[in-house]
Structure 1
Amino acid sequence: MEAVEDIVIVGAGIAGLATALGLHRLGIRSLVLESHDHLRTTGFALGIWTNGWKALDAVGVGESLRRRHNRLLRVMTSSTISGLRTAEIPLSAMGPQRDHEFRCVQRKILLETLEKELPSGTIKFSSKVVSIEESGYLKLIHLSDGSILKAKLLIGCDGVNSAVAKSLGFKMPAFVGRFGIRAFVYYENGHDLEPKIFQFMGEGVRYGVIPCDDKTIYWFFSFSPSSHNEEIIDNPPKIKQFVLSKLGKVADNIKAVIDDTDLDNMVLSPLRFRHAWEILWGNISKSNVCVAGDAFHPMTPDIAQGGCAALEDGIVLARCLGEALRDRQVMRSEAKGIEEEQEYKRIEMGLRNYAKERRWRAFQLITAAYMAGYMLQSNGKILNFLRDKVLAGFLAGQLPRIGSYDCGMLRTP
């Protein structure tokens, strides 16, 4: 049995749901395929800077998310070697915009908020894509249950292991040489952390502790693995023990956050990224197919922009498609001959405009994230000195500048 859909989005993550909601706000229906039987919340939380909030406001969910997450006011970095504070900058004084907004948002709440705004039936769970074929102006999407979908437009938001990205010629993302641990802690009676981004660096590790709200704290820890670290893979007790042993000189309340973390609330994974030159020369879109989010620009988490960039993608992609399909917002499945060809060309044009607008932005973000991670986690006396005396403050100042980008609204003026 072959069903026909106008727009198929693969992946119900941040990029997929933001794109679907952006299209919905423009009156354009889409179908989202999710391989799991539920929304995936791996990673627990993510930082959202000003650019991400502009995108969330564009689809009308910013205010509801703000009410559930505290605004953080300062960025503080410290050396784990000396225990001294190396930089502390108020977000209100950073960069040209002067009023930066940063909140640490729980991924589950973000995805559920986006899903709630979509029409019933938009997401089809337990729908894993196994292969993609061409059939004239359509794409044939083969699912693991044996069913086939025909799509006039295919959007890949299916993460770092994207089947859609592979069909466009992208290679698998490269291992950056580091692992990341992400976790969260819930305090029934509240925690005592100030509304700040707490960052710590030294001896080849980097970690951060960030409050989401009055009761929830998110933390991350990244490190370069060695043969001695192999035993901690898939072993939560050893992961926790390893992190505690590498914290260095930090305050007791920071150590307590890691110590209070339940073993089920930690995840370890390799950090991967797409080489920047692939973004410059690769096929972000081709005919009636494109990619967004981690399928497009997987990056290291060192500048906290992966989720924000995915939200930007969703707005820009929905806007470009809305403009291309402005005269026929509801694509007719019965279109034949010349009508079908014109429709295909409009879709192709919209995707080309999206790729043109997003290519350089993605290149900048991937490059900035990679360089930040390399500099801040390198080891050695000279690099430690430069990191603590120069780079910590420089990065703290660059984060809001990168995050001041405005992806625009869904409709052009």
Structure 2
Amino acid sequence: MSDRIHAHYFVETPYDLEHATQVMAGEQSSGTFTRLASETDALREAHGARVESIQHLEVVDHPSLPLRADLAPTARHGYQRALVELSWSLVNFGPSLPNLVSTVAGNLFELKEFSGLRLLDLELPPAFADAYPGPRFGTAGTRRLSGVGQGPLIGTIVKPSVGLTPAQTAEMVCQLLDGGIDFIKDDELQANGPHSPLKARVDAIMPLVNAHAERTGKKVMYAFNISGDIDEMREHHDYVVAAGGTCVMVAINSIGLAGVTHLRRHCQVALHGHRAGWGLYSRSPHIGIGFAAYHKLWRLAGVDHIHVNGLRNKFSEADDSVIASARACQVPLFGASAPDYTVMPVFSSGQSATQVADTHAALGNSDLIYCCGGGIMAHPGGIADGVASLRQAWEAAAAGIAPEVYSRDHIELAQAMETFR
């Protein structure tokens, strides 16, 4: 396998395409706006980025992103779109995730030569596997910790997102435990606020989780949101572990790659990665970072779970993008001789029993966490029936039975199909 880093991009430019991509390669390696005497041919050969390939696409009449007014004359022949592959030698920055991002997704987004530029995918050499341990638990470890050997982890999010006291949160958790839930998570907006401090939530919730485990033999996984400063996250992680918890959650874009990496090396429980802010990278097809590239960074950094949205979700992401993201999480990053770094995709955002059949059919497996807020709590039969409706929907999907047929003998599923259609 090559020791070079390869990055794949969509680009759009009013300039000559070959010229624009050479500017892009130079800006992100040894070049600047003019040739320097110290930038020798030998230095460029060793450290310069290479344009590996250019695949011409269509020419469009208007720029996808704003351009400076003085650049308009360069566009008299339109805006050429293309798929471009660049590569860099590992010696430029070594197996360092923060410096990788500075190189493959740094100043290039600002270059005047481009009216569109998006990082689509990354291919990384094995040195990154040597430098980063990746997920501690992943799919198999999450199943072991949660006691869910097969099928999806049926989960939910504490709602309202903020405003509940620790005691009120614990009251809701008690109902969810009694209802047969597998996984519960804090909302990304609720970490360590004055109205519901993290330690107070742990003190209120974990005795319930532990008592339920004593009664049933199954410990429900609760993902406590410990997002914060480095020392604060370490302290709160340790507090969750001491209380018997099996999962902590962080908002990965908020704490950054270095924060996740540091926490992973300290972490003794499953690390749940919430991608709050994902729309900044994904909303436009003409700028940002595609999930294929994005999620590899966080897998290396060490999350065990990562959000992928859900079918017919409440956000802007299309269904095919959601499924492609979930599939990507389950594909090994490196060869058979290295850890596979696979992680568990988390479906959420307006999910209920009504999307289960399509989700299973599109993904082809149930190695996922399926989080439903309203899809559980707004079920007309209550929380227990909401959980039951989801289990029934997944049972039907695994057996290849249409939910409309299965619901004839399963009232909880029938009510969910009627309520959330």
TM-score calculated relative to the size of structure 2: 0.29
More strand by share: 1
More helix by share: 2
